């Protein structure tokens, strides 16, 4: 079945450093979504990517969808303490959540 893996599982960064999480699917995806979950909270939608090679930006966040539509990445520039949380990708053909990357930002 479809599997979606994310790396790294955990990441500690100093405030101001950049951060990247990668999402890899075992099958070609129709689209991918990214969610953020704050500690003790629920997932909140960030963005959706549909087209092969698509790149979208939200302020300090840059999202990419691979050419083969089997991988994606989320890059955060100059992390802030408000970026703390777990970032999930969600792959669609059959909805599958990635394993998540937990980000800790050290002030």
Partner 1 sequence: NAGVTQTPKFQVLKTGQSMTLQCAQDMNHEYMSWYRQDPGMGLRLIHYSVGAGITDQGEVPNGYNVSRSTTEDFPLRLLSAAPSQTSVYFCASSLEAGGLNEQFFGPGTRLTVL
The least distance separating partner 1 from the CB of residue 35, rounded to whole angstroms, comes to: 8
Residues at the site binding partner 1, with contacts judged by CB under 8 A: 1, 6, 9, 30-31, 33, 35, 41-45, 48, 50, 88, 90, 92-93, 95-100
Q: Which is nearer to partner 1, 45 or 57 (CB)?
A: 45
Point out which residues pair with 75 in neighbouring strands: 20, 62
Closest by CA to 39, choosing from 96, 99, 82, 93, is: 82
The least distance separating partner 1 from the CB of residue 66, rounded to whole angstroms, comes to: 17
């Amino acid at each position: 079945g479809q599997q979606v893996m994310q790396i790294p599982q955990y990441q500690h960064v100093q405030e101001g450093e950049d951060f990247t999480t990668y999402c890899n699917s075992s099958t070609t995806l129709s689209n991918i979504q990214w969610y953020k979950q704050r500690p003790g909270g629920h997932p909140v939608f960030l963005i959706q990517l549909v087209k092969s090679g698509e790149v979208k930006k939200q302020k300090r966040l840059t999202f990419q969808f691979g050419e083969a539509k089997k991988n994606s990445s989320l890059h955060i520039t100059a992390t802030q303490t408000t970026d703390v949380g777990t970032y999930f990708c969600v792959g669609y053909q059959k909805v599958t959540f990635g394993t998540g990357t937990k980000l800790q930002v050290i002030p």
